[in-house]
Amino acid sequence: MAKVKTDKTPVDLLTAKQAKAEHARLAAEISQHDRHYYQQDRPSISDADYDALRARYDAIEERFPDLRTLESLSLKVGAAPSGKFKKVRHAVPMLSLDNAFAEQDVVDFVARIRRFLKLADDETIAFSAEPKIDGLSMSLRYENGALVTAATRGDGAEGEDVTANIRTLKDVPQRLKGKRVPAVCEVRGEVYMTKADFLKLNQRQQAAGEPIFANPRNSAAGSLRQKDPSVTAARPLGFFAYAWGQMSEMPADTQSGMIQWFETCGFKTNPLTKICRSTEELTAFHRKIEQGRSHLDYDIDGVVYKVDRLDWQERLGFVSRSPRWAIAHKFPAERATTVLKDIEIQVGRTGVLTPVAKLEPVGVGGVVVSNATLHNEDYIKGIGGGGEVLREGRDIRIGDTVIIQRAGDVIPQVVDVVVEKRLKDSEPYRFPTKCPCYLRTKVVREETATGEEGARARCSGEFACPYQKIEHLKLFASRRAFDIEGLGEKQIELFFEKEWVKEPADIFTLEARNKKIKLEEVEGYGETSVRNLFAAIEQRREISLDRFIFSLGIRHVGETTALALARGYGSWKAFHDACLKVAKDDEETIAEMDALDQIGDTVIASIKAYFGESHNRGIVERLTKEVKILDAEKPKTDSRVAGKTVVFTGALEKMTREEAKAMAERLGAKAAGSVSKKTDYVVAGPGAGSKLAEAKKHGVQVLTEDEWLKLIS
Ligand code: IVH
């Protein structure tokens, strides 16, 4: 059959034949998007576009009910499980919500309920109004108070068994609190990742040459669909409880009562949840939440209104895939169209070149945006680097009309190009082959941990590149490192430009050199501010070992890694000696470092590169003459586990893994990230996988959490 081009024809004007073809075409298209979304965690279109397709599909079925067969999408939710995990049949199906976009849709929703329940006009209907969390829904089954199964929604009837992974979430109790919990409770809610954690994860993904996630929802879904629960455990995921499935007994008779009950059981529920008693209150709630949306640390894509009385919910029941008693009032997408005026290359502290889109200013979700990230070279070319599914094969050019998005992210990104508006004489963007610094050093593509070409381009000038030097000085003086008050980014730029501070040690000799510099005569400075600055610098001559290590700006050595190194070595001398040996490829020292918790090949390679460079060794030597580095807190040495190496794997029930590691370290044990011959104990909780197998292979003693606690008590 010839392709019927009907996608712009209003549904009301479609002939039966056109409608049939359009219905089939939409079904295929929607199913394909569902597969991307549910099975590959990579949506192929925006939510707004998806909703539009779905609305059109539903409208066609509404007008031509014959088209609604058993295969109809309107009877399905999502997509069938991907096959990676064991399947779980939901005792009560997990359904979806109808959408409202305009205020009129909300008015219609309330009127429909009133009609259905035959309520008098003056009878108040109370609604529980809640934010619609943009994560993935989860059903948690508790039997006699203990968590037995956690399942994804899947196609609504059957989901995937992700119990081992879910056990690693701190917001999911292993046991329900409270004395008299019903024998069977299915608690449902949303798993999500905060915007800040999503950004951090993407940075790590990019550094490792792994694909980046388009938004926090995909990163949450990707993190949950891991075969190894320890990967999930390392990804911070949260959970809000807001619904239920099978319940052997009902602990409340309202939606809000159920929410309160979830809290007493040990769950987090959304603090913005509110009772509304009229359409006006509902739409006011929608406005208020939308206004505050960008300040929330998690993504929401609308609000949900639910009839509060459960007896009314029961009477109202369901229509095909959604309840009559609830509706999702969506927010307009935080997207906008504008013109890409230029592409600027920024050089970061570690020499990574980031292309930044300079845009014709445009309002997106209440904020004026004139810069957006273009991630990396491949992303501009449209051949990878993340989010590529949005514009397969399309490159981004200066002069293009582009679509930008603020998705769970304070840094907006360019997500698509309006190809029809491309200028005739536009040319593909050529990524610079030289660093924009005055040295014009060659730009090289970074290698990933596995030795393949990564997405990031880096200036090969390393510490000779002025951009990198200046960015390192900024990090050095920043709150997270030396925390020198009065030495912010602007001041560093000025001092660097004047050549008063060229490397960290210079900060500490500034006062002695001030007779010549005469800082008090510089615009913006006076006697007092100069005195304050020197006093602030003096105050920081003493520094903890972990901060000192972090302040060196070694690639891949962030605050957590620096802390792990500080704890592992205890003193600057021990750490420095080890680094110099690592730089010389001393195998024993490398193995020792590798055995430390959180330290792996990437960090070791970067320590080796840093200390292998005489220029860096000089910087460190001059700096250590100026400051006093305090030893890391000494671990106890009289405990039974002092000097032992322990690896925690799987889910722990009595404490978080972080807590367990910290406790082990306080007792003088080393908490390592991987199992080797040198490991003394592996403490394995439910869901332990490859590390447990490794332990068996090396004959390492395996303990349960309780056995471990007994050992250290
Ligand atoms: S209630 C029977 N409440 O939205 C309806 N859903 O399109 C049960 N969602 O699958 C869902 N926040 O993943 C409900 N406060 C909230 C929600 C919420 C997010 C998601 C959930 C659901 C989808 C419905």
Q: Letter for the amino acid at 418?
A: V
For the CA of 318, the closest atom of ligand 1 is: 2
Q: Is the beta carbon of 138 within 6 A of some atom in ligand 1?
A: no
- Give the atom of ligand 1 at the shortest distance from the alpha carbon of 326: 5
State the CATH number of the domain containing residue 606.
1.10.150.20
Higher pLDDT, 200 or 240: 240
The CATH code of the domain that includes 37 is: 2.40.50.140
Q: Whose CA is nearest to atom 2 of ligand 1?
A: 95
| Same domain? 179 vs 277 | yes
Q: At what angle do helices 614-626 and 572-583 cross, to 10 degrees?
A: 170
> Ligand 1: which of 94, 267, 269, 304 to mutate, most ligand atoms within 8 Å of CB?
304
Q: Whose CA is nearest to atom 1 of ligand 1?
A: 243
Cα 701 off chain centre by = 35
pLDDT band at 576 (very low <50, low <70, confident <90, very high): very high
Q: Is the pLDDT of residue 450 over 80?
A: no
Q: Is residue 330 part of a domain?
A: no
Whether 626 maps to a domain, the answer reads yes
> Are residues 315 and 258 both part of a single domain?
yes
3-state SS record for 266-295: CCCCCCCCEEECCHHHHHHHHHHHHHHHHH
CA-to-CA dists, residue 26 to 34, 54, 319, angstroms: 12, 8, 21
Count each helix (H run) and each strand (E run) in the chain, helices first: 25, 26
**What is the 112 CA–ligand 1 centroid distance (Å)?**
20
Q: Is the CB of 194 under 6 A from ligand 1?
A: no
Asked if residue 377 lies in contact with residue 354, where contact means CB atoms within 8 angstroms, the answer is no
Our mutation pick for probing the ligand 1 site, out of 132, 239, 305, counting the most ligand atoms within 8 A of Cβ, is 132
Q: What is the pLDDT, as a whole number, of residue 3?
A: 33
> Does the residue 236 lie in any domain?
yes
Distance in Å, CA 129 to ligand 1 centroid: 12
Ligand 1 centroid vs 186 CA: distance in angstroms?
15
Q: Tell whether 243 and 157 lie within a shared domain.
A: yes
Q: Give the structural domain span for 568.
A: 544-630
95 CB near ligand 1 (under 6 Å): yes
Scan for tokens 């080890």, then name that residue. 578
What does the pLDDT look like over 615-659, one tens digit per residue? 899 999 999 999 999 999 766 667 888 888 999 888 877 777 767
Residues ≥6 apart with Cβ < 8 Å to 22: 4, 6, 7, 14, 56, 60
If you measure from the C-alpha of residue 656 to the centroid of ligand 1, how many angstroms do you get, rounded to a whole number?
Answer: 28
Encoded tokens for 510 = 């500034």
Could you say which of 604, 630, 656 is where a domain stops? Answer: 630
Q: How many residues does the chain have?
A: 713
191 CB near ligand 1 (under 6 Å): no
Q: Assess whether pLDDT exceeds 70 at residue 96.
A: yes
Query: For residue range 388-433, what is the model confidence (pLDDT) as tens digits?
Result: 344 556 799 999 999 998 754 457 889 888 888 999 999 999 999 9
Name the band, by pLDDT with cuts 50, 70 and 90, for residue 492. very high
Check whether residue 552 and residue 405 sit in a common domain.
no
Regarding the beta carbon of 304 and ligand 1, being less than 6 Å apart is answered yes
Residue 487: inside a domain: no
d(C-alpha 478, C-alpha 464), whole Å = 21
CA 77 to ligand 1: nearest atom: 10
Q: Specify if 138 maps to a domain.
A: yes
Question: What digits encode the pLDDT tens for the residues 529-567?
Answer: 999 999 999 999 999 999 999 999 998 898 888 988 998
Q: Is 326 in the pocket of ligand 1 (CB under 6 A)?
A: yes
Tell me whether strands 681-684 and 645-649 are parallel, antiparallel or unpaired. Answer: parallel
Confidence of residue 60 (pLDDT cuts 50, 70, 90): confident
Q: Are residues 552 and 404 in the same domain?
A: no
- Both 120 and 249 in one domain: the answer is yes
The reply to whether 255 and 399 lie within a common domain is no
Catalytic residues: 132
Q: Name the closest-CA residue to atom 6, ligand 1.
A: 132
Give 71's contacts (C-beta < 8 A, 6+ positions apart): none
Least confident of 76-90, 103-117, 185-199, 508-522: 76-90
The alpha carbon of 97 and the centre of ligand 1 are apart by a number of angstroms equal to 7
Q: Are residues 363 and 227 in the same domain?
A: no
Q: Give the whole-angstrom CA distance, residue 380 versus residue 375.
A: 8
| Ligand 1 atom, smallest distance to 94 CA | 2
Domain contains 483: no
Q: Is residue 501 part of a domain?
A: no
Q: With beta carbons less than 8 A apart as the criterion, state whether 6 and 47 touch.
A: no
Q: How far apart are CA 519 and CA 531, in angstroms?
A: 10
Q: Is the pTM of this model over 0.85?
A: no
555: helix, strand or coil: coil
> Is residue 284 located within the same domain as residue 177?
yes
121-168 residue pLDDT tens: 899 999 999 999 999 999 999 999 999 999 999 888 899 999 999 999
* Closest ligand 1 atom, residue 322 Cα: 2
Q: DSSP for 119-154, please give it.
A: --TT----EEEEEEESSEEEEEEEETTEEEEEEE-T
Residue 241 beta carbon below 6 angstroms from any ligand 1 atom: no
User: Atom 21 of ligand 1 has which residue's CA nearest to it?
Assistant: 137
- Residue 348: strand, helix, or coil: coil
From the CA of 136, how far away is ligand 1's center (Å)?
Answer: 9
Among the candidates 421, 437, 467, a domain finishes at 421
In a domain, 473, yes or no: no
259 alpha-carbon distance from chain centroid: 26
Does the Cβ of 299 fall within 6 Å of ligand 1? no
Shared domain for 313 and 187, answered yes or no, is yes
Q: Is 328 in the pocket of ligand 1 (CB under 6 A)?
A: yes
Nearest CA to ligand 1 atom 23: 96
Residue of 58, 133, 139 with the most ligand 1 atoms within 8 Å of its CB, for mutation: 133
Separation of alpha carbons 318 and 309, rounded Å:
15
58, 242, 259, 282: which to mutate for ligand 1, most atoms within 8 A of CB? Answer: 242
Same-domain pairing of 49 and 196:
no
> What whole-number distance in Å separates Cα of residue 220 and Cα of residue 222?
5
546 lines ligand 1 (CB under 6 A): no
Which residue is closest in CA terms to ligand 1's atom 12?
Answer: 132
C-alpha triplet 157, 158, 160: angle, nearest 5°:
150
CA 45, distance to chain mean position in Å, is 20
Number of independent structural domains in the chain: 4
Asked whether 79 and 35 are in contact (CB, 8 A), the reply is yes
Query: For residue 132, how far is its CA from the centre of ligand 1 (angstroms)?
Result: 6
Select, from the ranges 60-64, 518-522, 664-668, the one with the highest average predicted confidence (pLDDT): 518-522
Residues 359-389: tens digit of each pLDDT: 999 888 667 889 999 988 888 988 764 443 4
580 shares a domain with 707 = no
pLDDT computed for residue 2 by the predictor: 30
- Last residue of one domain, picked from the residues 597, 630, 663: 630
Residue 190 Cβ < 6 Å to ligand 1: yes
DSSP for 464-522, please give it: GSHHHHHHHHHHHHSTTTT--TT--HHHHHHHHHTTS-SSHHHHHTHHHHHHHH-GGGS
Residue 295 belongs to domain with CATH number: 3.30.470.30
| H or E stretch covering 158 | strand 158-160
- Give the residue among 1, 36, 43 at the shortest CA–CA distance from 22: 1
CATH number (domain holding residue 670): 3.40.50.10190
